[in-house]
Amino acid sequence: MRAVWNEVEVAHRLPWLLVFRGVIATVLLGVTVVLDLLNWQLQRVSSMLYAVAVAIFLLVIVLGSLLRNGIHPLVLGSVHLVGAIFSASLIVEATGGAFSGFSFLFILAVIDGAIIGGRRVALAVATGCALLNGAQIVAQMYGYTASDSYDTVLYANAVVQHFVAFYLVALLAGYLGELLRTARSETGAAEVDRDRAERLHEDILESLPLAVMTVGADANVRTANAASSKILGRAVEKLIDAPIPAALAAGMKRASRADEVVYCANGVTKYLSLSYASTAAINETLGVLVVEDRTHVRELERDLQMKERLASLGQLAAGIAHEIRNPLAAISGAVELMRDSENPASRATFEDIITREIDRLDAMIRNFLSYARPMSPERHRVDIVAIARDICMLIGQDVRWQSHNLVVSAVAEAFADADAGQIRQVLWNLLRNAVEATPADGKVELVIEEQKDWVVLSVVDEGPGIAPEMRAHLFEPFRTTKADGTGLGLAMVHRIVEAHGGEIALENREPHGVVARVRLPAG
């Protein structure tokens, strides 16, 4: 029997069974007292019920004391079941035997067995109850224990009914007990798995180099991991239930994509990348804010950009030295010819050549300085559509390009976080290139649209397209197919777009022409 008993479960359940047994004894004692007050004539029966009630009380007290003193709970459980069987037998014997109204006490003993040890113990207790109750009924049938006599068939029916009831209850209670035990075992295993998963989740969050915080609808921090304290320069205890820092709150408004903000903590400036999303919690909607410290990355990027700029300036210096030779040679030749010429008309021609080449040198130097100057956009929320319409109007008024058909297809307004002056320069260069590449009476189209978190500008021309040998050098300075070009226009456009965190791409289209597509972060 012990093999099917669980010591921990018995130790946990036995106190409750003892309390229930004490309640039964109290009810029995109360009923007996009431019957005595009503002048019940069966004094012998009354005395036995008093004795059984007192015996049950004593057994409950003794077993409870032994259990508290550390006596093996399986032994005490066995004593409790034996006591339950015999107390039920004595009460049944005192109140009518085979036809007693207290025969259900045997069933309670069977249920106790199922609670303590499951189906096998319940069947064992049912067998004990059946044997003892059967012996009582047989003794009563033969007149050994009761004065009243009944038909033998009634006794046989009582035996069958009691036996069937005992075993059915044992099977049912045992089955339910096993289901309960299995459910508790599975629940315990699930709780262990849940606790393990929670600990793993906490360990992962605490080990991440990223700050992970949950933010309530009131913009107060609900939870924060250890990295939050390191990145934000505040103790976790001071972050919890406090408002999210203002710099982060502003960045959270760009919920659908990562954004970078400047954050100052303890006198140190940091560049933080934010990613924010909402999640439905049990009681409220929480926002999950992930913060990455990109200060070191920004420093590396700055160093890399400086090295690239120095390398580019070296390339520019070599390129501009080459480009300067041609106008200088033209100026030098014109000066020599002016010295030898006395014809006023010829001298005027040479002066025009000198002036033109000087203007060319001036434009080249200005473009060079613009390209070499660091791109630091002064960003504001600007309407790209309004800027584009202004540029198109200026180009349309230029007499050189009035034969072209310039079409604008745009949404009503499209805002971007950008430097208006630099964006005007981008549009001017792209549209001018498109118009110059398109034959007279051809069409140049500017399309402006919004795509999620981006403003997309597309300049479409009907020119000859990009030559295959030029595709790899589109944005390199001094790379041009124009006779009078410097090759700095697209290079400057590329730098401006990158400085804004955007993207630029040029693609050929069928049957001819080019699409220049610029993507800028929406504002």
> CA-CA distance, 57 to 66, in Å (whole number)?
14
Residue 203 lies in a domain: no
Residue 202 lies in a domain: no
Domain containing residue 277: CATH number? 3.30.450.20
Last residue of a domain, one of 339, 374, 409: 374
The residue among 493, 517, 516 whose CA lies nearest residue 424 is: 493
| Residue 224, Cβ density class (10 Å: 0-12 exposed, 13-18 middle, ≥19 buried) | buried
Q: pTM of the prediction? A: 0.42
Q: Are 169 and 23 in the same domain?
A: yes
Distances (CA, A) of 315 to 71, 280, 367: 93, 55, 15
Both 253 and 122 in one domain: the answer is: no
CB neighbours (10 Å) of residue 519?
Answer: 20
With respect to residue 441, please indicate whether it lies within any of the assigned structural domains. Answer: yes
Same domain, 289 and 429: no
CA atoms of 173 and 363, how far apart (whole Å): 100
Strand order in the sheet with 268-280: 221-224, 211-215, 285-293, 268-280, 259-265
**Structural domain range at position 154:** 2-188
The dihedral sign for the CA sequence 22, 27, 28, 32: positive
- Buried b / exposed e over 6-19, threshold 16 CB at 10 Å, is beebbbebbeebbe
Q: What is the pLDDT confidence band of residue 456, given thresholds at 50, 70 and 90? A: very high
The helix (run of H) or strand (run of E) holding residue 409 is strand 405-410
CB neighbour class for 373 (10 Å; exposed up to 12, middle 13-18, buried from 19):
exposed
Dihedral over Cα of 200, 203, 205, 208: its sign? negative
Judge if 461 and 414 occupy the same domain.
yes
How far apart are alpha carbons 440 and 400 in whole angstroms? Answer: 10
CATH number at residue 332: 1.10.287.130
Same domain flag for 69 and 95: yes
| Predicted pLDDT at 334 | 72
- pLDDT band for 1, please (50, 70, 90 cuts): very low
Stronger pLDDT, 462 or 334, i.e. the higher one = 462
Are 7 and 85 in the same domain?
Answer: yes
Encode pLDDT of 403-423 as tens digits. 788 888 888 888 988 888 888
Q: End of a domain among 374, 408, 429?
A: 374
Q: Which uninterrupted H or E stretch holds 214?
A: strand 211-215
CATH number at residue 517: 3.30.565.10
Q: Which one has a higher pLDDT value, 17 or 147?
A: 17
Residues 237 and 345 in one domain: no
Stretch 390-402: mean pLDDT, rounded?
Answer: 78
> What letter represents residue 91's amino acid?
I
Answer yes or no: is pLDDT of 459 > 80: yes
Quick one: which of 426, 435, 434 has its CA closest to 491?
A: 426
Same domain, 273 and 341: no
User: Which residues fall within 8 angstroms of residue 493, CB to CB, at 6 or more apart?
Assistant: 425, 426, 429, 430, 475, 504
pLDDT tens digits for range 5-21: 566 777 777 788 888 88
Structural domain tally of the chain?
4
Average pLDDT over residues 497-506: 88
Q: Is residue 363 part of a domain?
A: yes
The answer to whether position 120 is within a domain reads yes
pLDDT bracket for residue 316 (50, 70, 90): low
pLDDT at residue 42 greater than cutoff 60: no
Closest CA to 386 of 432, 420, 352: 420
Tell me the per-residue pLDDT of 66-90, one tens digit each, with 9 for 90 and over: 878 878 777 888 888 888 888 888 8
φ, ψ for residue 25, nearest 5 deg: -65, -40
The pairing of strands 443-451 and 405-410 is parallel
What is the average pLDDT across 88-111?
80
86 and 105 part of one domain: yes
Residue 465, both tokens: 């397209």
**Which of 411, 422, 420, 421 has its CA nearest to residue 448?**
411
Residue that terminates a domain, selected from 225, 259, 293: 293
Length of the chain measured in residues: 523
Residue 158 has pLDDT above 70, yes or no: yes
Residue 196 belongs to a domain: no
- Over residues 371-399, the mean pLDDT reads 80
**Residue 358: predicted pLDDT:** 81
Stretch 135-144: mean pLDDT, rounded?
Answer: 78
∠ CA 206-211-214, rounded to 5°: 95
**How far apart are alpha carbons 24 and 471 in whole angstroms?**
96
Assess if residue 198 is contained within a domain.
no
pLDDT tens string 181-225: 788 788 888 888 888 988 888 888 888 888 888 888 888 888 898
Q: Is the dihedral of CA 321, 325, 326, 327 positive or negative?
A: positive
Report the Cα–Cα distance between both ends of the chain, in Å, rounded: 77
Q: Using alpha carbons only, how large is the chain's radius of gyration in Å?
A: 48
CB contact set of 434 (below 8 Å; sequence gap of 6+):
444, 459, 460, 461, 463, 514, 516
Phi and psi torsions of 481, nearest 5°: -105, 0
Cβ contact 117:5 at 8 Å: yes
> Which two tokens mark 88?
């039920």
Which has more pLDDT, 419 or 180? 419
Helix (H) or strand (E) holding 83: helix 73-94
The reply to whether 367 and 401 lie within a common domain is no
Structure confidence at residue 319 as a pLDDT band (50, 70, 90): low
The answer to whether residue 201 is domain-embedded is no
pLDDT of the residue at 2: 39
User: Are 340 and 390 members of one domain?
Assistant: no
